[in-house]
Amino acid sequence: MSGHSARALAASVASGAVSAAEVVEEYLGRIDEREHEVHAFNLVTADAARAAAEQIDRRVAAGETIGPLAGVPIALKDNLCTRGVATTCSSKILEGWIPPYDATVVERLAAAGAIMVGKTNLDEFAMGSSTENSAFGPTRNPLDLDRVPGGSSGGSAAAVAAGFAPLSLGSDTGGSIRQPAALCGVVGMKPSYGTVSRYGLIAFASSLDQIGPFSRDVADSALLFETIAGHDGRDSTSIPAPLEPITPRLDRGVDGLRVGVVSELAGGTLEGFQPEVLAQTRRAAEALAAAGAVVADVSVPSTIYGLSAYYVIAPAEASSNLARYDGVRYGHREPGRANTAAMMTASRTRGFGAEVKRRIMLGTYGLSAGYHDAFYGKAQRVRTLIIRDFERAYRDFDVLLSPTSPCVAFPFGAKADPLTMYLNDVATIPSNLAGHPAISVPFGTGEDGMPVGVQVMAPMLGEPVMYQVAAELERASTDGTGA
């Protein structure tokens, strides 16, 4: 069962061919076998998963209709609030905090019949590209334990890659779903901003954060996206318009679709892209052309400034969002201090890790009097340029193509310098700044046989055509085109 798709598992459970209890036990067994070496989870919720499985089996026996994810195990990034279950953001400042409510996506998963098997590890407060910044230790890439799984949703990517769950959820602020998906050889997707509710997602940068799926194949990704997407009145940025169904488009192929290969990201304009990664992206473009797509290079000039703009905007929003962790209302509090200011300073100093402190200080500086216009204001203007450049590109193309990550999974400690680490997100950040959807699909291998991810980007609310192209890429890769 562990090799089956989420779709097949759900169908088997709903029909009574296999019990949810059997499915859960098999996946918990896989977690028992390898979790000690991978460390995908901050918490494994085995007892709760067994209880949920028993309830689903009783409903099946009673003839009830179960949702589209009936009995399917799922792992949740540990920045998604889960009622009665610790949610830490992999930070000491929230260690042991138990939310009194569920995130909207958690409610929707339960309604669909999915079963949570654990909360996954991440870079603290989702700030990182390797999951080395977790306060509870790093996650290891299941394909090579000496390499990182990517980040910040490294635990969620590793959980799917290791077979601990057929599905998982992560969050993507600058590439934190797509980049670890590429490094772990799974499918990872960031939705259009506002299509998935952020209610119950602990905020990093509110204008950039989005929740999205990890899976082993594109069809499972589409199913999970359809399950969690939709309007939510508790999120003021939630889009009220209904979503077009995705799954019916997966078998349409790409004949006549226009695919633009972003020259700044796939042509070596920016430094740091491994030759093998660029080569696989070109092979992916050739595979789409062979399947009938019209493929050509396209320039999106301002994408080269995306990284700089992001590392002003995101830290500024983080500085504001993380001000609430003061040791007073919830979270870690350092005792025995002379006054409130000393207690808050000590609590935040001990509770936050080095990368989180770095970004809070960057953001506070960028918002400070005398520097706001020079940094934050200018970064927002660059963001507008990126949106306009994408709009121009989408007049001529239905989707855009690029590498997901400049490199394959790298060894632990190889990118200790923060600026070197930040460059991992150079291809993914532009979609976050624009608010557009993007998906990473495994396509061949690169250095040392590690997987390469190819990114398909689409205009706002362009998930249907994006998934249509992603499915064709997956077919081409399975056929051996991505070698």
| Residue 141 predicted with pLDDT over 70 | yes
Q: Give the bridge partners for 260, in sequence order.
A: 296, 400
Cα diameter, the chain: 71
- pLDDT confidence bin for 336, thresholds 50/70/90: confident
> Across the chain, what does the average pLDDT equal?
96
- Residues 363, 364, 370: CA angle, nearest 5 degrees: 110
Catalytic site residue from 12, 19, 77, 129: 77
Cβ proximity of 180 and 156 under 8 Å: yes
CB 90 within 8 A of CB 154: no
Q: Check: CB of residue 458 under 8 Å from CB of residue 257.
A: no
pLDDT at 482 exceeding the cut of 60? no
Q: Is the pLDDT of residue 481 over 60?
A: no
Catalytic option among 152, 168, 192, 197: 152
CATH tag for 6-249 (out of 1.10.3720.10, 3.40.50.9100, 3.30.950.10, 3.90.1300.10)? 3.90.1300.10
The whole-number pLDDT of residue 419 equals 87
Q: Which two tokens stand for residue 144?
A: 């090579």
- pLDDT at position 477 over 90: yes
Is 80 exceeded by the pLDDT of residue 483? no
**289 token code pair:** 């052309």
298-309 per-position pLDDT tens digit? 999 999 999 999
Residue 270: its pLDDT value, please?
83
Residue partners of 379: CB distance under 8 A and separation at least 6: 308, 309, 310, 312, 313, 366
Query: Choosing from 130, 134, 168, 176, which is the catalytic residue?
Result: 176
Q: Among this protein's residues, is 347 annotated catalytic?
A: no
pLDDT band at 269 (very low <50, low <70, confident <90, very high): confident
Domain residue spans of the chain: 6-249
Residue range 77-105: average pLDDT?
97
- Structure tokens, 68: 């589209």
pLDDT digits (tens, 9 = 90+) for 1-21: 656 899 999 999 999 999 999
Note the pLDDT tens digit of each residue in 185-209.
999 999 999 999 999 999 999 999 9
For residue 17, give Cα distances in angstroms to 1, 10, 332. Answer: 12, 10, 47
Distance CA 270, CA 198 (A): 32
Measured between alpha carbons, how far is 182 from 451 in angstroms, rounded to an integer?
7
Position 110 pLDDT exceeds 80:
yes
b/e code 142-167 from CB counts within 10 Å (16+ = b): bbbeebbbbbbbbbbbbbbbbbbbbb
Residue 308: active-site member: no
| Catalytic-residue membership of 152 | yes
